[in-house]
Chain A
């Protein structure tokens, strides 16, 4: 029975309806929601909602000692945690005037590139899955596991390595470790033709991805797009090469660039980056045995470590794009403020909303994944 004060509402006649993507959706790694308004098959507007994974990292960091935060930062981006650790450490080192020993720098580069490969394998799989192809996803996850094995051996943790510390790294390489890295690199390299057959030269995937979610260079710059997504629009910029950190200036590698700016171009940039990462890792494996010395610069007792007052901005190239830390110290033993400039915050909000608008409903998930955004990094 209707209540007495019931008044019927006359909605204007419309073909639109609202569709809720998420918060658990295969279109993105983690919990993230996208509310899309759809007219027939066409999306008319979209609203991103990143609040499902808010863990308050930046605020939490203000209450912890400088060194305690190393256990917190990798959690900001689960599939690609190493850039978080390294970038935070670089910021602390710059604030404290600590010089990182060369061996530690090479070990850091090794981790960064291993992590990039793991993240890209994850993304291929995810991207394929959003177009209905699940085999690359199984393969990607299985092959990524081999890299996690390497991380487990190195750092004792498979997903959260917590291995980089201000001053360097926490342990030296286990005996024979580089041989096992080489073996895994050989294996992953041998798998690339399989991925190509199944995905990158698969007519179905190429057609599904081409022309979807097109981003031109002006838009990309305006919306603060970075990383593979930016390079897929034809802009040749990579922090590793153009603002080198660690020992990247001693390493030879190319920066893959595509022009189309669509989901296909983005996938292709990542696929080519994978090969470049393998190339970098080969150089690191060849170089590391000849780099001796300590793995960590001496750092003060973590319980009594005041960093000089000041602020720093450090950036690294993560698999998702440019990752930066803005750290402010007021001279105390804890950060006064930490701001994480995660690439996904831009990719998953303004870029995603704009790209999805006007797209077809079956492409929404693909566009989401082709941007390779990491939800916990959106809402820190």
Chain B
């Protein structure tokens, strides 16, 4: 078998042939360090401008060699998902496996080609290093083992949300997103690296890493329990939250962020409603405190505060002017985005905590504020922003010029109105998209074709609306004309509205970043239509306060001034929600928690 002549048992002379090597140069190794290979796994380098301090490297490190160190002077920005921490490496533990590099969500971490470090006993701490982009000894060695696309350990692509095709969804108000199935939810949840950036960015600090982990472990009830710790608007936020969490998600730096909102929706939909109620009410105080709280406005802020206060044993009454509670989530957001039965479920949980919600009661008309004050220990104002702002352009007082919120209210209430054959919407925010898409559906139902134009000052990529909303609106046949500044409604001789005149926008803000649009008159366009809808923002209707109280309260740029706890300058009155913070569901929920804590503290103090 062997190619050596084994039978001859070798020769004494054979080794002597090696004497030829005396004439050859010896194999030598230079004493000075030789350059390492291109892929070398040497000491770490970390680009601090890219690193967000997410600590994923620390989690994957198999030797616990990485410690996150807070760096004084670094700026932390929870909204953008940046922490003031950077990884420090203990080279007494590191094994240079490079898993930290392969998993780094931002791609800031790499191993360099530097591999020599020596020290005397007294300098043993020098093995504990906070790497930056200059390397261990500041010598700017080149990168060795760095991130490559085919070796990434982070899954950058999110599970696609199943949705109805545009043709299917345009003729009705059925929910267009169908929700994840079990497998998709599991796969999506498994992408999470548990960095907790979402928790920091969320206004109400939802325990997103925890409930995502619970979903991944298949413990859906546990997920619901985590969700209810911070947010009683669980179904609603699972569908229409502005998801600050996903903007901060560390996976989102190079890929698509985890679909945190859809995972919340999945967990809420998967657990039976009766079980959700039991879970949500865990920790409710049994003994009533005897304190009475009145809350004006049954929207997210008011109801969150009501839920918290009721769980703490206070008697809470919510006064809602409209026929159903839910505030803007019900009366503003169209049904195809947020079905009413999901709102009803969230409200049912809140009612089951003992909150008394009285609808169709308008404070100031049915009951006066003074009566409320007399009958309750604390009053919370959570009116929301119900009044549509007006452009005040020429002829905008015409009867065929509507405010978006008014029309959305009508659609929710199922009130009949003349569906325009051809509508122009002014505004590029989510409300503009909501009304445009709702009208498109009504047009499709009644006239068989869509004829809606959305005009806004901004360029399309800078619209305030969610990019998904814009994409879906375009799919549904809505025309978007960006950079159009409204200049007046066109009325014909018979007094009929025939169009909207706009000029091309050159710039929106002046050099001081104040709102001062400049137009190019040459870019004049007449958008033919029979109806104009203004969707340029909302304001609060605070007329119920009455003159005396309005006079007595402190104001801040048209909004009631509140302290850090949401208390107004009147000791008995708190204010929360959109009317204080501007429009956003999850901010309103966070605000509801904050005022509830403050009201509870004050009431319990009174009780002593």
Question: Which residues of A approach B to under 8 Å, CB–CB?
Answer: 64-65, 67-72, 135, 138, 142, 149, 152-157, 160, 162, 170-172, 174, 194, 196-198, 200-207, 210, 254, 256-258, 268, 271-272, 275, 294-296, 298-305
Contacts and interface: CB of A to CB of B under 8 A. Distances in A.
Interface in B58-115: 59-60, 62-63, 95-99, 102-103, 111
A135 B19 CA distance: 12
The CB with the most chain A CB atoms within 10 A, among B5, B10, B98, B190, is that of B10
B2 A156 contact: no
Interface residues of B, number: 53
9 contacts: A67-B153, A138-B27, A171-B39, A201-B14, A204-B12, A204-B15, A268-B2, A301-B153, A303-B60
B40 interface: yes
A68 B99 contact: yes
B461 interface: no
B519 interface: no
A170 B60 contact: no
A70 B9 contact: no
Contact of B18 (A153, A155, A157, A194): A194
A171 B148 contact: yes
Contact of A152 (B40, B62, B191): B40
B595 to A, nearest CB: 37
Given A202-B15, A304-B216, A160 B1 contact: no
Contacts of A154: 39
B112 to A, nearest CB: 11
Contacts of B103: 302-303
B548 interface: no
B151 A171 contact: yes
Given A68-B60, A201-B4, A272-B1, A301 B155 contact: yes
A201 B190 contact: no
A273 B12 CA distance: 25
B5 A203 contact: no
A271 B145 CA distance: 35
Contact of B4 (A160, A198, A268, A301): A268
A121 B37 CA distance: 23
Nearest to B155: A301
Contacts of A304: 189-192, 194, 213, 216
A129 to B, nearest CB: 15
Interface in B29-72: 36-41, 56, 59-60, 62-63
B3 interface: yes
Contact of B190 (A162, A196, A301): A301
A156 B98 contact: yes
B155 A174 contact: no
A259 B191 CA distance: 56
A203 B39 CA distance: 45
B97 A203 contact: no
B10 A67 contact: no
A304 B15 CA distance: 59
Given A162-B97, A300-B187, A303-B103, 14 more contacts: A135-B18, A152-B40, A155-B39, A155-B41, A156-B40, A162-B95, A170-B151, A201-B5, A254-B1, A271-B4, A304-B190, A304-B213, A304-B216, A305-B190
